[in-house]
Amino acid sequence: MTEFYADLHVHIGCDSKGRPVKVSGSKKLTFENIAKECFYRKGVDIVGIVDAAAPGVISDIENLIDSGEMTEIPGGGIGYRDRVVILLASEVETSEENRGRSHHLILLRTLDMAKAFSRSLRRCVSNVFFSTPVCTMPAKDLYKMAMDIGAVPFPAHAFSPHKSIYGNCVRRLDDAFPRDILDSIVAVELGLSADTDLADTISELSEYTFLSNSDAHSLPKIGREYNVMLMESPSFDETLKALRRKDGRRVLANYGLDPKLGKYHRTYCSRCDRTFRDLEPPILSCPGCGGTSVVRGVLDRIVDIQDYPVPKHPVHRPPYRYQIPLEFVPGIGPRSIDRLISKFGSEMAVLHTAREEELAAAVGDKAAHLIIEAREGRLQLVAGGGGHYGKALINDG
């Protein structure tokens, strides 16, 4: 079996005709451009495009297949240039009884399944043409609808404060799902401001495979988080086996930002314009003004609902490895990134395998040293919150 890099949560900014799909996404995020970015720059083998139920995106996929630029592969997925496989998916927003809203990913094996799911969505969303359509049903009903056509649903960015199952809806999954659905969930996506150590303080998550995906809204963000999967080949069927930990397939490692760099790691008060980085969690209201209209941090939420003060990792849990992408490394600008990718072939190679002397030959000693410090976790980090990323700082001396 072989190791593959997989980022299963990437958005479409617009379709090939320029019509918006993810309004907050870059216009360069088209179906074709995502495949090219993974092939030429990122070194991502499997990419999940989560707006594949939007009619404009479906039309683009059909055109790319008809032209021979891409092809449907036997194990499920869309192949690009014999190296990159695109898994079709849809992100949908649901509404719970407590008025909380949460996002969920629906993996779709084939283009025909994406079309069928798109038709089903039209009955319960107001605008199927846009990314992450708002569904009138709770998550349990969405999951049943998806599973009835053979699709595979699971929670997206499970702890984010605005629209996630833990962050905005329930304290436990069985508050949202009956047992038969809980037993069918193959994975839980951690999200930007969480990691394995944080999530494994919640006992009910021990049975699930964790995913670290980018939720990319621009081409450079693809692969910011990703998973290393051990499989026979890159396809929908093999990926599903890896998520289920079947027949030797599995997730070998999760790669992602240190949670401190995430946009919602700590609670933030907009009235005081303060992120509570230095206070012990959980901070659920503002210690300054007393207000409860705060953006609750992922760390604060997890501490509020956790079962254990320290993580208890199940035997199957792979390591979570922190990665600081090149755009987060201080002093590394777009031109340096282009030179590095041109020399080493992909951002993955720069971040994980290039030697310091090789990096220095491309971008100089100082920049090379910073990349190595980032790789080895030696940069100082300032926690993010309230929608603002954390920062990596150059160490004094």
Residue 332 has what pLDDT?
Answer: 85
Among 225-234, 275-284, 318-327, 343-352, which range has the highest average pLDDT? 225-234
Per-residue pLDDT band at 318 (split at 50, 70, 90): very high
Note the CATH architecture for domain 2-258.
Alpha-Beta Barrel (3.20)
Sketch the domain layout of the chain as residue ranges. 2-258, 325-378
pLDDT tens-place string over residues 108-121: 999 999 999 999 99
Give the HSE-up count for residue 281: Cα atoms under 13 Å, Cβ half-sphere.
Answer: 19
Which pLDDT does position 396 carry in this prediction? Answer: 58
pLDDT (mean) for 268-283: 91
Q: What is the pLDDT of residues 156-190, one digit of tens each?
A: 999 999 899 999 899 999 999 999 999 999 999 99
Euclidean distance between CA atoms 57 and 51, whole angstroms: 7
Alpha-carbon distance 397 to 388, whole Å? 27
Beta bridge partners of 78: 72, 86
Average pLDDT of span 27-52: 93
Confidence band (pLDDT; 50, 70, 90) for 257?
Answer: confident
Architecture of the domain defined by 325-378: Orthogonal Bundle (1.10)
pTM to 2 decimal places: 0.91
Tell which residue, 339, 335, 326, 340, has the closest CA to residue 370: 326
Q: What band does 64 get if pLDDT is binned at 50, 70 and 90? A: very high
Q: Which of 55-69, 86-100, 314-328, 346-360 has the highest mean pLDDT?
A: 55-69
The residue-averaged pLDDT of 241-265 equals: 93
